[in-house]
């Protein structure tokens, strides 16, 4: 049972108020008719299934009925941030990796 912060309601709510809506940031090609089959296929069918950080779309169906995005670790289930549609995540797999290596080099320097 996740505890999810709705960025529209500005409150934590129980998971049962929400519906998961799959991977976030899947934009419909602006000109579907002139989109390559590959790009259209990627839009329509292909989804990431990462071990680790994932950006997901959720819907606050029993609350404000608004969509928003969640950055969640699929291993620990930790939610690192939630943000509104149209916004970009501040925590990504790359940023986390960069942070981890920066920390490692800091520790190395401390020694």
Residues of this chain that bind another protein (CB under 8 A): 1-3, 8-11, 13-14, 16-17, 19, 21, 27-28, 31-33, 35, 40, 43-44, 57, 59, 61-67, 76-79, 85-86
Q: Do 98 and 80 touch, CB atoms closer than 8 A?
A: no
Least spacing, CB of residue 31 vs another protein, in Å: 7
Rounded Cα gap, residues 52 and 63, in angstroms: 28
Which of the listed partners (another protein, Zn ion, none) does 40 bind, with a CB threshold of 5 to 8 Å by partner kind? another protein
Shortest approach of another protein to residue 106 CB, angstroms? 21
For 3-29, the DSSP string reads EEEETTTTEEEEGGG-EEEEES--PPP
Could you tell me which residues are beta bridge partners of residue 4?
13
Provide Rg for the chain, Cα atoms: 17
- Residue 6 makes contact with Zn ion by CB under 5 A: yes
Print the binding letters for residues 21-60 with Zn ion: x by CB under 5 A, - otherwise.
Answer: ---------------------------------------x
Contact indicator for 26, 69 with CB cutoff of 8 Å: no
Binding site for Zn ion (CB under 5 A): 6, 8-9, 60, 63-64
């Amino acid at each position: 049972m996740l505890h999810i912060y709705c960025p529209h309601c500005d409150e934590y709510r129980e998971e049962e108020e929400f519906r998961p809506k799959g991977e976030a940031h899947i934009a419909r090609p602006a000109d579907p008719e002139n989109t390559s089959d590959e790009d259209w296929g990627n839009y329509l069918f292909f989804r990431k299934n990462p071990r680790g950080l994932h950006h997901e779309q959720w819907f606050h169906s029993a609350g404000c009925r608004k969509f928003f995005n969640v950055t969640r670790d699929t291993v620990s289930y930790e939610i690192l941030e939630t943000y509104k549609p149209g916004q970009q995540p501040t925590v990504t797999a790359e940023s986390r990796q960069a942070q981890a290596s920066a920390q490692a080099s800091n520790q190395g320097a401390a020694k």
